[in-house]
Amino acid sequence: MSDRDPISQLSQQLSAIQEQLDQFTNRFDSIENQLEDLSPLSKQISRLEDKFLLVADSYRYETLQQYLAEENWFEADKETIKLILDVMGKEIEELTPEDIQHFPCKDLMTIDGLWLKYSKNRFGFSPQLKIYQEMGGNIQATIEQNQKLVEKWGEILGWRKENRWLPCKELDFSLNAPEGCHPSRWWNSPYGSKMTNFFLGRLINCDIQ
């Protein structure tokens, strides 16, 4: 019996240690699950903080809001370019694709939100991005500057027809236009598809949706 007692005691100690480890593991899993549950809440709080920060800067968007409220999509389209340049503090000739990588997410959200509100969710950056992603577009595609994907995307948005990009004057500036058609003029950049891909990448990184 004496020879087996130490072994029995050791076995009991090991069992106790294993039980404690199991308890710690369960607690860790519980904490991990709680953190996962808090992640969406954290994103929501971050979005609300961004919206509160915009209140003091709301005057900047008054003209865009007015055009959109009047359903004057043509003028709202031009105003969107002015806003982007105003936010960046540059003229259209000076703005590069590399600059757009640093465009403030909160301003993208505001411009997009106004387009969504007054177009009944038909127009805006988020519908454009949603269509792009549904086609398989992602960050890697923007880095690779997948031209074929951009061309197919342009066809769905109504920007491209019969293997050519349409001039802005030929687009439909009404609610009958394809979903995501506007804002459109901004995408017609001197840098071509490079700016398109860099801007799509920025929309993805800003989690515009």
Whole-angstrom distance, CA of residue 87 vs CA of residue 42: 27
| pLDDT-above-70 percentage for the chain | 75
Predicted confidence (pLDDT) per residue in 58-85, tens digit: 788 999 999 999 999 999 999 999 999 9
Give the model's confidence band at 160: pLDDT under 50 very low, under 70 low, under 90 confident, else very high.
Answer: very high
pLDDT score of 175 more than 60? yes
Beta bridge partners of 164: 161
In degrees, to the nearest 5, what angle opens at C-alpha 42 toward C-alphas 41 and 46? Answer: 115
Question: What pLDDT is stored for residue 181 in this prediction?
Answer: 97
Identify how many contiguous H helices and E strands the chain contains and give both numbers: 9, 2
Beta bridge partners of 160: 165
In degrees, to the nearest 5, what angle opens at C-alpha 75 toward C-alphas 152 and 169? Answer: 50
Q: What is the chain's alpha carbon radius of gyration, rounded to the nearest angstrom?
A: 26
Question: What pLDDT is stored for residue 25 in this prediction?
Answer: 64
Question: What pLDDT is stored for residue 146 in this prediction?
Answer: 94
Beta bridge partners of 161: 164
Select the more confidently predicted residue: 51 or 164.
164
Predicted confidence (pLDDT) per residue in 87-141, tens digit: 999 998 899 999 999 999 999 999 999 999 999 999 999 999 999 999 999 999 9
Instruction: Classify burial at 95, counting beta carbons within 10 Å of its beta carbon; exposed 0-12, middle 13-18, buried 19 or more.
Output: buried
